[in-house]
């Protein structure tokens, strides 16, 4: 019998209201592990921490001490819980605070960024019809005027531009290769955990919501700095990767390639409950919109096969979205102490796709800096591979 995620979350809500926090914790654990009881996973400690991260990322943080007797908003006609689920989650979190050492990279604080002399890393604000966002822009030293590539980097939940720049070390690659890097910032008033709202239909289409803001920001930078419009790319991690996928689907005329790390397919969720399911790899909640494809888009996809927050099967579905199949030229290797399988697929046009599955990789940027959150120093360097893929795939303007 299929496991009913929505019903289990409702049961956890009722248990919490009755003060039965231990039982509620077990119920929410089962909701996030497709019905498996606690202890069924060999990596139980890491799974528990990742499960709590999933809940907090989607529902967002709540007041530190919600009154136990506070009424919860009734569910809608669909029976799906509304945002007060966050209050339930906070009570569960306070009842079970233990953190596994294997998930300690989730909690690291980034160090201050070091900017080379002559380079710039400054804060800007974009404002357009769909809304406004602050962003950080990195300009490498000894840069030429005009015709430089641009990579737009979308951070994950509970991150910000500085943190993401530290963890991915993308600024250092900008120095090596001569390109601009933009880091849009998702504010807490748009999502309590600073997640891009990839699971909300209002932010899944062209010309509206966050996709319109990110595209407008990209165009503004391109116009201001004379960016080579045939070499504009977007990449992200987790919720940022899900939004990067949305950008590739909705603005294929703006971005020549996308980088997706630990992400989710387009249209794989339409609300909080289906977001939980999608992150667990449950296809039951897949919407019709997830059938959208972008056959002419270049894409490079990274995922750790031990990711406890976003199931690796999501990346296989992303690959199919862009090239229709996960079959292609495959090679295996070892980098940064971790083995990987890299699959390269050509779709019959000028577009190409690379899919990297990293053995033992969790929900963190592969080959990143230990000083950033959600960044793992082990494994192949995702940033370097993405830059290599982007610059090799993109055409250059002819030299006169």
**Rounded alpha-carbon distances, angstroms, from residue 319 to 55, 65, 163, 264:** 26, 43, 28, 10
Name the pairing type of β-strands 232-237 and 150-154.
Answer: parallel
Confidence (pLDDT) at 65 = 35
Confidence (pLDDT) at 28 = 59
DSSP state of 288: G
pLDDT of 76 above 70? no
Confidence (pLDDT) at 139 = 96
Which of 370, 310, 375 lies closest to 57 in space, CA to CA?
310
Quickly state the pLDDT bin for 29 (edges 50, 70, 90): low
CB atoms near residue 94 (< 10 Å): 12
**Rounded alpha-carbon distances, angstroms, from residue 162 to 115, 179, 219, 366:** 12, 18, 22, 18
pLDDT of 148 above 70? yes
Under 8 Å CB-to-CB from 176, ≥6 apart: which residues? none
- Domains of the chain by residue range: 5-102, 120-393
**For 312, how many CA atoms within 13 A lie in the half-sphere containing its CB?**
15
121-150: average pLDDT: 93
pLDDT by residue (tens digit) across 302-320?
Answer: 999 999 999 999 999 998 8
Quickly state the pLDDT bin for 46 (edges 50, 70, 90): very low
pLDDT of 47 above 50? no
- Predicted TM-score (pTM) of the model is 0.77
| Most confident residue range from 95-104, 278-287, 291-300, 323-332 | 323-332
Chain centroid, CA 130 distance in Å: 21
Which of 174, 287, 276 lies closest to 235 in space, CA to CA?
174
Alpha carbons 241 and 246: distance in angstroms, whole number: 9
> What is the SS3 assignment for 362?
coil
pLDDT by residue (tens digit) across 95-112?
Answer: 333 333 333 344 455 567
Alpha carbons 362 and 308: distance in angstroms, whole number: 7
Residue 211 has phi, psi (to 5 degrees) of: -60, -40
pLDDT of 245 above 50? yes
Which of 70, 3, 1, 15 lies closest to 273 in space, CA to CA?
3
Q: Which CATH class is domain 120-393?
A: alpha beta
Confidence (pLDDT) at 276 = 86
pLDDT of 13 above 90? no
pLDDT of 57 above 70? no
pLDDT of 191 above 80? yes
Name the pairing type of β-strands 150-154 and 352-358.
Answer: unpaired
Residue labelled with tokens 């004379």: 226
Confidence (pLDDT) at 73 = 31
Residue labelled with tokens 């002559």: 118
């Amino acid at each position: 019998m299929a496991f009913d995620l929505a019903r289990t979350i409702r049961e956890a809500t009722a248990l919490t209201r009755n003060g039965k926090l231990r039982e509620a914790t077990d119920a929410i654990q089962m909701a996030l592990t497709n019905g498996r009881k606690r202890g069924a996973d060999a990596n139980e400690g890491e799974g528990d921490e990742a499960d709590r991260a999933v809940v907090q990322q989607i529902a967002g943080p709540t007041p530190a001490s919600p009154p136990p007797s506070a009424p919860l908003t009734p569910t809608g006609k669909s029976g799906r819980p509304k945002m007060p689920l966050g209050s339930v989650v906070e009570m569960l979190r306070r009842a079970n605070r233990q953190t596994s050492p294997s998930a300690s990279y989730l909690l690291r604080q980034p160090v201050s960024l070091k900017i080379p002399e002559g380079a710039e890393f400054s804060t800007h604000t974009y404002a357009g019809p769909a809304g406004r966002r602050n962003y950080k822009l990195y300009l490498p030293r000894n840069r030429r005027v005009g015709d430089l590539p641009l990579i737009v980097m979308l951070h994950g939940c509970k991150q910000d531009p500085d943190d993401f720049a530290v963890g991915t070390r993308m600024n250092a690659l900008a120095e090596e290769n001569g390109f601009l890097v933009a880091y849009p910032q998702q504010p807490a008033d748009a999502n309590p955990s600073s997640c891009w709202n990839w699971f909300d239909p209002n932010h899944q289409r062209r010309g509206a919501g966050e996709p319109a803001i990110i595209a407008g920001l990209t165009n503004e930078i391109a116009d201001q700095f004379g960016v080579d419009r045939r070499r504009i790319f977007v990449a992200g991690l987790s919720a940022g990767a899900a939004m990067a996928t949305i950008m590739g689907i909705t603005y294929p005329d703006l971005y020549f390639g996308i980088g997706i790390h630990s992400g989710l397919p387009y249209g794989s969720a339409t609300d909080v409950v289906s977001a939980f399911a999608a992150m667990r790899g449950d296809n039951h909640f897949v919407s019709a919109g997830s059938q959208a494809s972008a056959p002419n888009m270049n894409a490079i996809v990274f995922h750790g096969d031990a990711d406890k927050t976003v199931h690796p099967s999501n990346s296989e579905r992303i690959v199919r979205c862009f090239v229709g199949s996960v079959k292609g030229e495959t090679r295996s290797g070892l980098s940064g102490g971790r083995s990987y399988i890299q699959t390269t697929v050509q779709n019959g046009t000028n577009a190409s796709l690379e899919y990297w599955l990293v053995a033992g990789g969790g929900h963190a940027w592969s080959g990143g800096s230990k000083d950033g959150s959600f960044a793992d120093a082990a494994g192949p360097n995702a940033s370097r591979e993405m830059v290599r893929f982007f610059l090799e795939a993109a055409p250059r303007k002819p030299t006169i």
